[in-house]
Structures are given as C-alpha cells and as structure tokens.
C-alpha cells in the first residue's frame, strides 16, 4: 500500500465522522484512540523493516457480533447490552487480526442477530447502499459491505450463514468470500446457526480477501497459487439459480458469461439434482431456523418486544419444528452433501449470479409482504451453498449495469485456497 497506515486510518475516520455520509449508520463503535496507536505501531514496524506480514497496518472493520474484550457484544440488537456481561477476551479472529498487525477502526452495523439478507436495522438505522443511498446494502453484514465500498477502512470481516458476506458484496459491488465452515474458528462470534455459520472477508480484491482468509484461518500467509482461467473447468448452474432474474441481473450475468466464454479450459451446463433434497429438508423446517430459535428461545420469552419485528417473526415461525424433524434433516443433509460433492469431480468451479435481484429500495422493504419477498430473493442463490457446506466468492460484474450485482463462484468443500486462486483468475479476466 502506498500510503501509511495512519494516513489511511485518518481517511477512514473522516468518512466515519462525515455528517453527510453513512458513517454513523455503518459504524456502531469506533476505536479512534486504539486504532491510532495500532496504526502508528504498524508504520514504525514498516519503517524498521520488521512488519508482521501482509496485513500489518491494514485498516479493518469487524461485524458487530464479534467479541471485543471489555464490551458487551450487541449483534446489532438492543436487548443484549442490558443483560449480558462484557466479553472477557477478544473473539479468536479478532485476536488473530491484531496479532497480524491489523488496525481495527470500528464495529459495523448488521441485521439484528444476522437474520436477514437485506441489511435493514430499525435500532441503529440502515446504511444506504453506496451505489444508491435509497437502497439497502444487503445483509446481514450490511455495514461491512458499505464500509469497503465507501472506503471506511481497507477490509471488513463479516459472517455468512445464508449469504451474509456474499449478498452485501454483490449489492455493494465488492468482493466477498465465504469459507468452508470448519476453516475459521467461530469462538467469540454470536451465533445464528451452530451448523451453518462461517466467517469471511469483504474487500476490493480477491488478493485482499485471500490474505485475510489465511490470517483468520491461522495459516501462514502466502501468495495464492498462480492460476490461469484457461486451466479451469467451469460448470454453469442451471435451473433454480438462474430462474426469475431481475432485469439488471438478467442482462449483466449473460454479459459476464460472454466475456469469459472463450477463456475457460472447458464449460458445461450443470443441473444440480441435489437441490431436490435440500428443498425437502427445508419443507421440514430446515437447519438454521430451528437452531436460531433454540439460541433465542429464552431471550424471546424475556425481551421479545425489543427485537426487530421482522427478525422476531422469523424466529417464532420455527418454534414448533420437532426434534425428530431436525434430526432427520441433519441426517438427510449429510446424504445431500455427498451427492453435491460429486459435481466437483466433473468441474472445478460452479458459476451463477450471486443474487436473483439487485438491491431493493428501503421504501420497498418497509412493507412486510415485500420485505419477505425480497429477503427470499436475496438469499435464494447464496443460501444453497451454506446448506452444502462448500466455499464461495462473489465478484463484482461491472459492465453497463446501473446497479451492482455479483458473479458467484462455488468451490468444493475444503478447497478454499484453490477457489480463491480461481477467483483471482476470473477477476483478472473480467477486468481485461
């Protein structure tokens, strides 16, 4: 990076504090003094030739559901602070970032308890989409998407249970990476689903996501394997992932495919037969909904009126799912995962739009019926891949589209670094 860490931090603080901007809605806690000390220390290490690695001095934001020692973790809500004690230590990923020299400037806004793909928050306000402030940023990592797109820091950390990194990345026009669940420790992150939660970065480039991924996964940072798009066998998802695309996504996605069509090693249409098993499981209540209700059951009895009404309603819809159905769902999911994994014997990466729609307007989602519809549309494509526990990345598609939308690449379970290397190749080809 060409400017000092302190200079980039000060630029981030200016944007956070700009009354005409989205800083106050994007950043719920700002660590001005601690961040300045960290940035100055990083600059001193850089000057002395003792930098800690590729993230040393990088300005980060972290989602509001990560523990920071001495603070009560809010998770975008108002009901936890009066009831919970301050965290006794940093979340694992926060500690790993600090140990790597990262400068954490702020905690970012989010959908309450991470339970929506739109990013609206009635308690702290909803940060406007950088492409059109009258539109939602995507969720649940709403502040993360806005922070990166608006230049509030270099990289943001979000979580992804059904698309909560990739949706705001797609809606805000940045890169977002969702790892295989087991890759990154979730200790110190307020949960939504014990089974599906994952932690990943949003940034301006795949390289920045990859550097961050290595650190939070506790791996030694190393450059990605050099990969050319001409070495990649692409599978183009058919059926549900490309049905009902709105006008902008429906025009932009074919443009991306056309630009890349002659560059792949091979390309083939892929029908995802395992989706029928996923649908059957979801009809029995799914995986995340009963887990989310279990997490919130006692708190809902005590403080239901303090919840975002949309989040509360979604949680309560799962209160009658039986233990028997949940057990069957977990068993059948394992079978479905094995079936989906076979797809990656034939292709290296699956390709599809990140979302069915571009970011809806805040006005649209103020109506309950439309909120529910748009939330389902935002989550449809991304949530498939949490269910199958694979890794995924959203890349911006930048043609003549009036609003941002994302190209989603999906890789095999555990092949996270390989997917990031392929994503870097596709990113380069899209920019050519």
Model confidence pLDDT, tens digit, residues 337-381 = 999 999 999 999 999 999 999 999 999 999 999 999 999 999 999
Strand (E) or helix (H) holding 301: helix 288-303
Secondary structure of residue 98 in the 3-state scheme: helix
Is 3.30.9.10 the CATH number for 229-431? no
Catalytic residue among 5, 77, 116, 164: 164
CATH of domain 5-216: 3.90.1300.10
Determine if the pTM surpasses 0.85: yes
Please tell me the predicted confidence (pLDDT) of residue 63: 99
- Token couple for 13: 């603080």
DSSP 364: G
Please tell me the predicted confidence (pLDDT) of residue 207: 98
Secondary structure of residue 182 in the 3-state scheme: helix
Determine the Cα–Cα distance for residues 195 and 386; give it in Å rounded to an integer: 9
* Regions in the chain scoring below 50 on pLDDT: none
Contact 272/343 with Cβ under 8 angstroms? yes
Secondary structure of residue 367 in the 3-state scheme: coil
247-260 vs 416-431: helix crossing angle, rounded to 10: 90
Strand (E) or helix (H) holding 140: none
Determine the Cα–Cα distance for residues 210 and 101; give it in Å rounded to an integer: 16
Catalytic residue among 5, 77, 116, 140: 140
User: Is 273 considered catalytic here?
Assistant: no
Please tell me the predicted confidence (pLDDT) of residue 378: 98
Determine the Cα–Cα distance for residues 32 and 95; give it in Å rounded to an integer: 18
Catalytic residue among 5, 63, 116, 383: 63
User: Is 63 considered catalytic here?
Assistant: yes
Q: Where in the chain is the domain with CATH 3.90.1300.10?
A: 5-216, 229-431
């Amino acid at each position: 990076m060409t400017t000092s860490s302190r200079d980039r931090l000060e630029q981030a603080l200016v944007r956070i504090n700009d009354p005409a901007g989205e800083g106050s809605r994007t950043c719920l806690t700002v660590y001005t003094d601690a961040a300045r000390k960290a940035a100055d220390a990083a600059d001193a290490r850089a000057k002395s030739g003792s930098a800690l690695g590729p993230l040393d001095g990088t300005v980060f934001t972290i989602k509001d559901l990560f523990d920071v020692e001495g603070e009560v973790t809010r998770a975008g809500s108002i009901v936890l602070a009066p009831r919970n004690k301050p965290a006794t230590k940093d979340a694992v990923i926060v500690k790993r970032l600090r140990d790597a020299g990262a400068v954490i400037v702020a905690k970012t806004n989010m959908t309450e308890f991470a339970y929506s793909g739109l990013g609206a928050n009635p308690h702290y306000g909803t940060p406007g989409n950088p492409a059109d402030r009258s539109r939602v940023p995507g969720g649940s990592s709403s502040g993360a998407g806005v922070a990166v797109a608006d230049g509030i820091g270099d990289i943001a950390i979000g979580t992804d249970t059904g698309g909560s990194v990739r949706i705001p990345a797609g809606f805000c026009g940045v890169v977002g990476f969702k790892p295989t669940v087991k890759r990154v420790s979730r200790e110190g992150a307020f949960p939504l689903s014990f089974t599906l939660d994952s932690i990943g970065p949003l940034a301006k480039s795949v390289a920045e996501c990859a550097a961050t991924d290595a650190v939070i996964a506790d791996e030694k940072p190393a450059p990605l394997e050099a990969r050319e798009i001409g070495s990649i066998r692409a599978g183009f998802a058919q059926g549900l992932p490309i049905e009902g695309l709105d006008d902008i996504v429906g025009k932009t996605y074919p443009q991306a495919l056309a630009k890349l069509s002659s560059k792949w090693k091979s390309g083939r249409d892929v029908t995802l037969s395992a989706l029928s098993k996923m649908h059957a499981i979801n009809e029995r209540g799914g995986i995340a909904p009963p887990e989310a209700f279990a997490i919130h059951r006692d708190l809902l009895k005590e403080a239901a009126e303090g919840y975002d009404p949309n989040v509360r309603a979604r949680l309560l819809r799962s209160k009658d799912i039986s233990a028997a159905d949940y057990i069957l769902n977990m068993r059948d999911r394992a079978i479905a995962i094995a079936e989906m994994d076979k797809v990656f014997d034939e292709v290296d990466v699956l390709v599809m739009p990140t979302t069915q729609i571009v970011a809806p307007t805040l006005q649209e989602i103020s109506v309950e019926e439309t909120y529910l519809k748009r939330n389902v549309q935002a989550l449809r494509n991304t949530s498939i891949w949490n269910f199958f526990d694979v890794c995924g990345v959203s890349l911006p598609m930048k043609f003549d589209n009036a609003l941002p939308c994302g190209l989603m690449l999906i890789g095999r379970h555990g092949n996270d670094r390989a997917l990031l290397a392929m994503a870097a190749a596709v990113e380069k080809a899209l920019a050519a």
